[in-house]
Amino acid sequence: MVRRTELARDRFYIRAKEEGFRARSAYKLKEIEAKFRIIKRGDTVIDLGAAPGGWSQVASELVGAHGVVISVDLQHIEPIEGVVTLRGDITDQESTIKLLKDALMVHGLHGRGNDSAAAAAVVLSDAAPKLSGNRAYDHYRSFELSKAALGIATALLKPGGNFVAKIFQGEYYRAFYNAVKDVFHDTRAYTPKASHKRSAEVFVIGKGFKALK
Ligand SMILES: C[S@@+](CC[C@H](N)C(=O)[O-])C[C@H]1O[C@@H](n2cnc3c(N)ncnc32)[C@H](O)[C@@H]1O
């Protein structure tokens, strides 16, 4: 757990305030982008577990005026220019996929044929459970969110698409990493400098979604 006083001294927190980002986590995505080149101009990006919207702000800057960012969270996300914000529970994969397909259709973003599946270039997930303080339990719940994000990515990414998902380290970390490795050509794990030192979080990055047979 990070205390308020620690946050106040935190250089990423201060920078986020100064630069107009809603969350210091924006700098985690910026570091990931600088290292792995995930998002291109004109891309359609899906951001899962997106509130309050720091990652969506960064993604929106990267895709530019010809791209689209569609964000989902359990909580309300205050409107962000260029971002479609939706409310949903990503562990209910079926409903989230339907919600996202409908949003893609509305924006005229079709994949193969007239289906809005396979329309997204990038799926991001910074989703995290409310921390209970029990590391094993928190890890398992984070694993469930990451697995759900991977299921949604598999349904909506076009071949060659990219994926980033946060997971807390623990027993099921390797299983999740291997599941990403199965469906992407290049899989890496990365912890940005902006992650709190005592945090167990790691980001699994999949590049080049394999075409489904
Ligand atoms: C660390 S915050 C995300 C911060 C965000 N990337 C940003 O830059 O503003 C984690 C988010 O995951 C969301 N979340 C947790 N469980 C979720 C679920 N089942 N479905 C959707 N969102 C979820 C939380 O509501 C929370 O807003």
pLDDT tens, position by position, for the chain (213 residues)?
555 555 556 888 888 888 888 888 999 999 999 999 999 999 999 999 999 999 999 999 999 999 999 999 999 999 999 899 999 999 999 999 999 999 998 887 776 666 667 789 999 999 999 999 899 999 999 999 999 999 999 999 999 999 999 999 999 999 999 999 999 999 999 999 888 877 789 999 999 999 776
Bridge partners of 204? 165, 189
35 an active-site residue? no
- Distance CA(172)–CA(181), nearest Å, equals 14
pTM of the model: 0.93
| Ligand 1 neighbours by CB, cut-off 6 Å | 22-23, 25-26, 49-55, 72-75, 89-91, 126-129, 145
Nearest to 206 by CA among 161, 142, 144: 161
The answer to whether the CB of 46 falls within 8 A of the CB of 70 is: yes
Which CATH class for the 4-209 domain? alpha beta
Amino acid making up residue 194 = A
The answer for residues whose C-beta is within 8 angstroms of residue 150's C-beta and 6 or more apart is: 163, 165, 176, 179, 180, 183
Q: What was the pLDDT predicted at 13?
A: 85
- Distance CA(185)–CA(174), nearest Å, equals 17
Is cis: bond before 159, omega within 30 of 0? Answer: no
Q: What was the pLDDT predicted at 26?
A: 95
Which residue is catalytic, options 28, 101, 147, 166?
166
How close is the Cα of 49 to the center of ligand 1, in Å?
3
DSSP-derived secondary structure letter, 211? P
